Amino acid sequence: MAAPKEDVRDSSTSFPVKNNCIAVEVNSHKTELVCCTFEDRIFCIVTQYQKLGMLVDVTREIVMEETDTAPPRYSTRVLLGKDEPMTHVLAQTLISKLDIHKPIILAMALKDTAPSSVKKLAEYLTQLVNT
Amino acid sequence: MTETKQSDSGNIPSPINLAIHTFSEKIMGTYVYFQVLKLSDSFWLWIGNSPAKFGDFTVAMNSGKMPCSTVLLGNSDSGCLAMAERLAKRTGKQVFISGELTFNQIQLPLIEKRVAEEMKQHPDNF
């Protein structure tokens, strides 16, 4: 029951990049999530258009006196697409559940930006990154 | 209520349309790794060594006579840029290229040749 039933593909271990893909349906929108782990960065794609869409550079802020309870803080920079508050909010929400220190390049092309859908996608993304 | 419904539909394995195609080649003594993600009207190509560095990130589009390109991340004199332009012109698609192209002037054309070869052999992957 607990095991994820999504069609998870794993690349061969000899290739230096670790790739994971899943396809899920959220609020009846087919969404594809791809995560490529590199030595220096993680490239995450969340797409409902089969395109990269907006590209956001996400880096974790170094917080002095980091306590275990404080949630990690990320700063976002738009590389491609509309640099408007909504883009930053979407990116922040999508990565909010991740706990990684590597910088992330996030590509997102979303038809549905309802808070409940984006939260659901954030869960799937976390699941994918941690596999 | 809707939550359970959503996760249920999420559990039905939907076919993955986005596919990552990987290949590698030994070019002048060093292994070069390639990976392509086919997207709608575009593709993303990564080129690099092991251990894999994401490196620079560039995009190019064919617009009329001259392709236009820009560096999204990294060095502005990235070797990816010229390659992205040529691939955009060749395919007519929007081309994203990333990678640490610290290869020399003799290796770069060979790498591009290898990509062109792969395009010919497996056009469906681009």
Answer whether residue A58 is part of any domain: yes
What is the helix (H) or strand (E) element at residue A127, kind and residue range? Answer: helix A115-130
Q: Are strands A42-47 and A104-109 parallel, antiparallel or unpaired?
A: parallel
CATH number, domain of A51, equals 3.30.230.90
Answer whether residue A89 is part of any domain: yes
Q: What is the pLDDT of residue B107?
A: 85
Q: What is the pTM of this model?
A: 0.84
Answer whether residue A96 is part of any domain: yes
- Helices A115-130, A85-95: axis angle to 10 degrees equals 50
pLDDT bin (cut points 50, 70, 90) of residue B14 is: low
Q: What is the pLDDT of residue B79?
A: 78
Name the closest residue on chain B to residue A1, using Cα atoms.
B11
Answer whether residue A45 is part of any domain: yes
Tell me how many residue pairs between chain A and chain B have CB atoms under 8 A apart. 112
Nearest CA distance, A67 vs chain B (angstrom): 30
- Would you call A21 and B10 a contact, using CB atoms and an 8 Å cutoff? no
Give residue A118's domain range. 9-129
Q: What is the predicted ipTM?
A: 0.83
Q: Which stretches within chain B are classed as H helix?
A: 2-11, 79-91, 107-121
The residue ranking higher by pLDDT, B107 or B8, is B107
Answer whether residue A108 is part of any domain: yes
Answer whether residue A117 is part of any domain: yes
The predicted-structure confidence for B43-64, as pLDDT tens digits, reads as follows 999 999 888 999 999 999 988 8
Answer whether residue A93 is part of any domain: yes
Average pLDDT of the segment spanning B75-81:
80
Residue B40 has pLDDT above 80, yes or no: yes
Residue of B12, B54, B125 for testing the chain A interface, max A β-carbons within 10 Å: B54
Answer whether residue A4 is part of any domain: no
- For chain A, how many structural domains are there in total? 1
